[in-house]
Amino acid sequence: MPGCEDGTAEWYEETIPLPFDHHFTEDREAGWSCGVCEWEQEADQDDYVRAGEFEKTLQPRIDAAWEAVIAWNPREKEKTPTVWQFFADLNMPEGDFKWDDPVGGDSHVYCCGERDCPVQWHTIAYATNIGRREGKLYIEEMDVDCDGNWDINESWEEGDDYEVFRNLMENMQRLDEYFVGWARYWLDAIITRKDPCDQATRPVPDGEWTEFCLQAVEDNVKYLTNTNKGGTAK
C-alpha cells in the first residue's frame, strides 16, 4: 500500500455499514491503517471501495442499480384477496387438519442497524402454515432465522377482523422485498468488501470482487417491480 513503510496496512471501519447509501458519509469512518509504522489514510468522500481499487467503468452500473433500489416502493402491494378467494383453490379436507411448512422459502436478508452488532446483515426465511383447528380455519406466517429459531410472525383465525387477515396477506407479499434486500446486501458488499452471510458461491479474487458483487446486484434488481417510475426496474 503506497505510504505504508511496512506494507501491512489493513482496512478499517469505525462505524456500521450504511446499506442505503453508496457513498461514504460523515457517519462512517473508513480507510487504511498500519499498526507497525502507524501510517493511516482515510477513505475519500466519493470512494466506493478501499483505497482507489474501484474500477471507474463500473460506476454508472452501480448508480443505476442504486436508483432502481431507491425507486422501489414497498407500499405498492397486490390487491388483497378476500378470505374466500384465498381458501377457494386449496382443496381442503373436511374437519380439522394441519398443513405445516417445515422448511420455509428462500432466505431474505436485512440489515439490523444495531451499532453493537458486528455482523449487521442477517438472513431470515418465511413459511406459511394453514389448517383448521376446533372448526376454525387459521393461517400462521412463521419466520426462521439463520440459527434455526422459529417464531410466529403473523397469524389469523376464522372470526378475526378482516383487517387482521389483510395485514397478514400484505406481509406475505414479500417477493420484491426479497430482491431489494439482496440488491442492498451486494451493494453494501461492494463498499465493505465483506460477505457476512457467506453468499459467495465461489472464492472471489480481490480484483474481481466489485464485478462479482455488481452482477449479483443486477441479477436481483432486474426482478424489482413497484418502482416510482412504474413498471419493472431495468
For 58, phi and psi rounded to 5 degrees? Answer: -90, -10
Residue 69, number of CB atoms within 10 A of its CB: 23
Q: What are the pLDDT tens digits along the chain (234 aa)?
A: 445 565 565 655 554 444 444 433 334 455 656 666 666 666 554 444 443 444 567 888 888 888 888 888 765 556 778 888 888 888 899 999 999 998 888 999 998 888 888 888 999 999 999 999 999 999 999 998 888 889 988 899 999 999 999 888 888 877 678 899 999 999 999 888 899 999 998 888 877 888 999 999 999 998 886 555 444 433
For 188, phi and psi rounded to 5 degrees? Answer: -65, -35
Grid coordinates 491503517 are at which residue?
A: 33
